[in-house]
Structure 1
Amino acid sequence: MHKEECFYLGKIAKKYSYKGEVLAYLDTDEPELYEKLESVFVEIHKHLVPFFIEKSQLHKNDFLRIRFEDIDSEEAADRILGCELYLPLKFLPKLEGNKFYYHEIIGFEAEDQRLGTVGTIIGVNDSSAQPLFEIIKGDIEILIPMIDDFIIKVDRDNKKIILNTPEGLVDLYLEN
């Protein structure tokens, strides 16, 4: 399994018991969806390694208490402390309406109600305070803030996002 085929679930934060149990911080709004997992991928030395789960339960809302097969001591748990957890993309819950995962909209056409086709979404820049659609039109890169008020419709069937951007925002990039 390659990292590109997976999503980040969380990180092994600390040991829980002397028998090798660990607490994993889950980076999700719905941790209960992941309480009954049979396995996860643990990133070890930049490789995703499958780990099978004997038992797991939620612990203080954002943590999952996990007992992995073959991790039966503090020393074994120490070796995976701080490692990130991943699951295949197929385990992501389906989103509907105007909610979407960033990876899901790559390749979608961005269409503005006023300007028509703006370009193709090639990525999402989420390194700033406000995530941005990265859109390419010819050799021009256009950045549009991902603001709910701008997003009119996510059309999954036609791989298109309909936007209503303020006048001047996209025009700035297109004026040459």
Structure 2
Amino acid sequence: MIREEEVIYIGRITRYRGIIGEVELQFTNDAFDRGEAEYLVLKRDGILVPYFWEEYRFKNDSTVILKLVDIDTEAAAKRLVGAEVFYPAAAISEEDADTLPSLKALVGFEVSDQQDSSLGRITDVDDSSVNILLSLSSGHLIPYHDDFLLHYDLQKKILQLNLPEGILDLI
């Protein structure tokens, strides 16, 4: 049985494609492209289930089109839409495990300020311009810059920032 602590969240199946069972994975972590596992893990009815892939190709910088083994029909692919997707942590090198793959991987991190007061959980990262914005569950929209970073922990999914005074009052 696969346990939650053995996998890393990498995204969600957002749609199916065509009649041969392909699906689109909107990813926040490209571990599947850097790691060595030949399978992904999908959460199905609260259970983590391994799915081997036949092939994949990138649609854009945040979406990959997957063809999974034994998912050969449109109906089978439709059943996977909405599933959370994980990658086996053991298949990632230690060097990669301690490196943030992209800013999109921050989704789900708990953010705190320099006094360790919780600001909320990151729900979205807008990195479409040089001014990166983090959307928080608390309703705040805050800028991100490496100079603001005090501490982060990939395993605990926490991010501590030293934000400029008054930035939270701009809402």
Q: Give the alignment partner of residue 2 of structure 1, picking from 1, 4, 8.
A: 4
Q: Summarize deviations over 1:36-80 as a string: whole Å, max 9, x none.
A: 862111121122211111211223554422221222333432332
Aligned 8 A contact 1:7 1:88 in 2: no
Aligned 8 A contact 1:105 1:121 in 2: no
CA 1:69–1:133: 2 relative to 1, 3 Å: closer
* Alignment of 1:148 onto 2:150: no
CA 1:99–1:11: 2 relative to 1, 3 Å: closer
Query: 1:79 corresponds to which residue?
Result: 79
TM-score after normalising by structure 1: 0.53
Name which structure has the greater RCO, CA cutoff 8 Å, separation 6+. 2
The RMSD of aligned alpha carbons is 4.8
Larger Rg: 1
Q: Summarize deviations over 1:89-144 as a string: whole Å, max 9, x none.
A: 67567139x998366677x8x53xxxxxx2x355733469964599xxxxxxxx98
| Correspondence list, 1:1-176, <5 A | 1-2=3-4, 6-18=8-20, 20=21, 22-28=22-28, 33=33, 38-59=38-59, 62-88=62-88, 94-95=99-100, 101=106, 110-111=113-114, 118=115, 120=116, 124-126=120-122, 131=135, 146-148=142-144, 152-155=148-151, 161=160, 163=162, 165-166=164-165
Aligned length, in residue pairs? 149
Task: Say which SS state the counterpart of residue 80 (structure 1) adopts.
Answer: coil
Q: In the alignment, residue 17 of structure 1 is paired with which amino acid?
A: I
Sequence identity (%): 16
- Structure 2, unmatched stretches of 5+, are 125-132
Task: Say which SS state the counterpart of residue 49 (structure 2) adopts.
Answer: strand
TM-score after normalising by structure 2: 0.54
